Amino acid sequence: MATLPFSAAQSSSVSGFNYRASHSNLFFVRTPRFFNRLKRRNLSVKNITSDQRQELKDPSVNGEASLETLEPDSASIAASIQYHAEFTPLFSPEHFDLPKAFVATAESVRDSLIINWNATYKYYEKMNVKQAYYLSMEYLQGRALLNAIGNLELSGAYADALRKLGHELEDVAGQEPDAALGNGGLGRLASCFLDSLATLNYPAWGYGLRYKYGLFKQLITKDGQEEVAENWLEMGNPWEIVRNDVSYSVKFYGEVISKPDGSKEWIGGENITAVAYDVPIPGYKTKTTINLRLWSTKVAPNEFDLRAYNAGDHAKACAALKNAEKICYILYPGDESTEGKILRLKQQYTLCSASLQDIIAHFERRSGKPVNWENFPDKVAVQMNDTHPTLCIPELIRILIDLKGLSWKESWYITQRTVAYTNHTVLPEALEKWSLDLLQKLLPRHVEIIRMIDEELIHTIIAEYGTGDLDLLQHKLKQMRILDNIELPDSVLELLVKQEESSSVDSIKEVKVSDAETESTDEEQSEEQDTDAKDVVTFDPDPNLPKMVRMANLCVVGGYAVNGVAEIHSEIVKNEVFNEFYKLWPEKFQNKTNGVTPRRWIRFCNPDLSKIITKWTGTDDWVLNTEKLSTLAEFSDNEDLQSEWREAKKRNKIKVADFLKEKTGYIVNPDAMFDVQVKRIHEYKRQLLNIMGIVYRYKKMKEMSPEERKARYVPRVCIFGGKAFATYVQAKRIVKFITDVGTTVNHDADIGDLLKVVFVPDYNVSVAEVLIPGSELSQHISTAGMEASGTSNMKFAMNGCILIGTLDGANVEIRQEVGEDNFFLFGAEAHEIAGLRKERAEGKFIPDPRFEEVKAFVRNGVFGHYNYEELMGSLEGNEGYGRADYFLVGKDFPSYVECQEKVDEAYKDQKRWTKMSILNTAGSYKFSSDRTIHEYARDIWRIQPVLLP
């Protein structure tokens, strides 16, 4: 525990700074000595597409730099940290221990970010730039301190400053909790995008929700996964800036009335207030600092029922307050109950409504009066990150029609030119469907608008395909309608009736029949009538099926662009998921392969490797221009590079070993191969295939003599991490199975260091930043065609980790770039999956004997007393929910086991393995989020980089 070297309360002068408690505008008073060190720095920084940039000129500046910024040294930073420890405290004043040091340091950094944020925001306002707005339910930010000071190029200065104050930067940074705003790749992608947007000077904001408890904190116990509330906000969040003056009313329930002029008004119901919390996002080597605006929910004080409270009915008094607050309690609340479904819809609508109101306020303010709404799509691009923000489509139309007085035609045209949709999955649970009755109850005006959009779509389909072939029309409507199992609109029924009447008239013909034909029996006539009835095309809803709203279809219809996130995924989107829409609007569909930021995922989390890359590429410009990584391939056989590469990997593996001991108690050998699978626990990601492969390996080891197993097997540390959703029973069984296998294997003296199995609890960004640099083999083994892209595969490859995987998602492109010989491939391909499932359903699948051997081994109770019958049973049978091995673990098992044998052989040749590692880093240049953002900006948002003066 450290104490402050000197008191900021005293009138001290350190490196040109005098403290004044009364000075609230900035964290220090500038003195002459300070101004002697002030350096003029132009805020524009050349980036990798300078030839594409549009430099907006402010005529009032006359082309000269208009903003002076300070370039602080370690002494001034130390003074700033001390100021915040003294005057913006969240802790008692006696000591300057690590938690207090972190908060004071973060607030010091935030001061610089606010200066840059204000300059960026004001310039965007002044120049009225076209701006992109990214709407996402998740942002998996990770720790912000090291990333922020790294982007500001102040890492060394802050390290020196904290050392003077008695602490190490790494220790201080370790006090920061991960922001609990996301769960998996969807949220991490959104965060990488914000980093790239700021770094490349694109005008953009992110919008999300400020979850009080996030998803959950994962504990691993003898019973498997347990969930407790995440406490990331317990000590406050020094990065966020509450904007109490930026708030919007959000309505639920109520009714829609028609006014005398024909317009509609949504009245009554429940009203809550969404309040903005801003998190500045700095770019790398640029002063551009964009914004992540998070919404928190509350109600006005007059909603608190003081009379009920004083009468002792405290629950009633606080009901409105709790109903509002709980919207932002949890990311993805369980939706098995009606209450859970309502809460999820409230979350999604709150994000959409508050964000759209804010975006429109920006547009109106920048446009001046009168507002020309036709220009809205020329100034605004809204990107929906998956289907969670779908309600922004009817919400934008509602605001334009009901509040701004535009017509349906005008509003629909504006919306279709403003909103774009990123599809992230082909899994049914992610292609959201919501009950029409539930939506009608919660958002009655939006259901009216969705019905109008659905009607517009049906008329478009009829205009394209006609009504001559009712079978074809029925098929198109079944696949494409937004409203599923819901009666056709009256305007469409009228068209069909007219068509039927016309067809009946045209089909009247005189037909001569023989006497024998007229003598058919009543029974024959009845059979003919039954046959005719079966051929009748009906558009009536099925009373036995629920009435649903298909959100993904609404996204496609309401948006002007639809993109997948990897080449193979985008082809599946076009050819399978939305094939009928693709036939109708092929120009809408694009591919935008995901990317990850090389700042966080190499430069900051792997400094040892970064130094080597800089040395051998001859520049550190690769952090912005990742194509320069490809030059490493020229030196992949160089013994000096290989030696340095192995040493860096070994140092990172030692860090991982220390981390595993701290988090799990297991001691692992850093000379073993580190084999890692860390991601959300889901059956399609097939952690079950991985652990069953490990069980097979363990069983074979046990059958050998010590000499045989040592000669046959490479020592491995098999590391797992990831959260299973709290109500996903099968995923939680898999977590339990992994931990049980680890308990048995890790305590088996016969096996020793030849095999270890470790499950890392509470996997998050900070854990990934430790594990990825030290990983040597990374598993991306999803059932082909089911992983949209993946981003962790990119991070591992960037850090010289070799992948084992199927031809799924971005694996396909990674393998192309790093070279087929540097990727361990196994398993069925996407085009085979449907046939293999059909084969299984017909009872034709014959399991590999090795697969049956593993299941029997598990059932024998080797890994404890837990009953794994349900888990093993899911891999058996030919049909039925939870059975029939839908994700083809058994089918791919033999290919997987044989591929793992090739991994062992390759690892024994360390020269070959190191070359493969280097070539993985060299080939990962394509997978930078900078490249992805350039493609979004060019092809979808049509925005240009904006350089501050």
Q: Is cis: bond before 394, omega within 30 of 0? A: no
Burial class (CB in 10 A: 0-12, 13-18, 19+), 755: buried
The helix (run of H) or strand (run of E) holding residue 217 is strand 217-221
Separation of first and last alpha carbons in the chain: 44
Q: How far apart are CA 838 and CA 886, in angstroms?
A: 10
φ and ψ at residue 14, rounded to 5 degrees: -125, 115
Query: Is residue 217 a contact partner of residue 227, using CB atoms and an 8 Å limit?
Result: yes
> Is 716 an active-site residue?
no
> Is 680 an active-site residue?
yes
List all residues 6 or more positions away from 566 whose beta carbon is below 8 Å from its beta carbon: 591, 593, 594, 788, 789, 790, 809, 810, 812, 813
Contacts of range 624-628, beta carbons closer than 8 Å, 24 or more positions apart: 624/47, 624/48, 624/199, 624/284, 624/285, 624/930, 625/48, 626/598, 626/924, 626/925, 626/926, 626/927, 626/928, 626/930, 626/931, 627/925, 628/925
Q: How far apart are CA 450 and CA 471, in angstroms?
A: 25
Q: How far apart are CA 101 and CA 96, in angstroms?
A: 6
Closest CA to 188 of 698, 681, 751, 792: 792
Q: How far apart are CA 849 and CA 837, in angstroms?
A: 20
> Is 569 an active-site residue?
no
Selecting among 217, 653, 680, 733, the annotated active-site residue is 680
The single residue listed with the structure tokens 């070993």 is 657
Using only the alpha carbons of the chain, give its radius of gyration.
31
The DSSP output letter for 3 is: -
Q: How far apart are CA 628 and CA 618, in angstroms?
A: 10
Sheet holding 483-484, edge to edge: 433-435, 548-550, 483-484
List all residues 6 or more positions away from 644 whose beta carbon is below 8 Å from its beta carbon: 612, 615
Selecting among 795, 815, 915, 934, the annotated active-site residue is 795
Selecting among 287, 362, 569, 679, the annotated active-site residue is 679
Q: How far apart are CA 387 and CA 705, in angstroms?
A: 55
Sign of CA dihedral 141, 146, 150, 152: positive
> Is 433 an active-site residue?
no
Q: How far apart are CA 948 and CA 53, in angstroms?
A: 12
* Distance from the Cα of residue 557 to its chain's centroid: 23
Selecting among 84, 398, 685, 736, the annotated active-site residue is 685
Burial class (CB in 10 A: 0-12, 13-18, 19+), 775: buried
Query: Is residue 383 a contact partner of residue 420, using CB atoms and an 8 Å limit?
Result: yes
**Total Cβ atoms within 10 A of residue 582:** 18
User: CA 661 → CA 79, 657, 668, 711, 735, distances in Å?
Assistant: 37, 6, 8, 28, 19
> Is 831 an active-site residue?
no
Query: Is residue 903 a contact partner of residue 867, using CB atoms and an 8 Å limit?
Result: no
Closest CA to 758 of 775, 776, 738, 774: 738
The single residue listed with the structure tokens 């050392």 is 163
Selecting among 424, 445, 686, 891, the annotated active-site residue is 424
Sheet holding 270-282, edge to edge: 241-252, 270-282, 289-298, 204-209, 131-135, 380-385, 419-422, 561-564, 589-591
Query: Is residue 93 a contact partner of residue 86, using CB atoms and an 8 Å limit?
Result: yes
- Alpha helix (H) residue ranges in 136-283: 145-151, 155-164, 169-173, 185-199
Selecting among 593, 617, 664, 791, the annotated active-site residue is 791
> Is 844 an active-site residue?
no
Per the DSSP assignment, residues forming a β-bridge with 272 are 250
Sign of CA dihedral 233, 235, 240, 244: positive
Q: Which residue numbers are catalytic?
A: 424, 679-680, 685, 791, 795
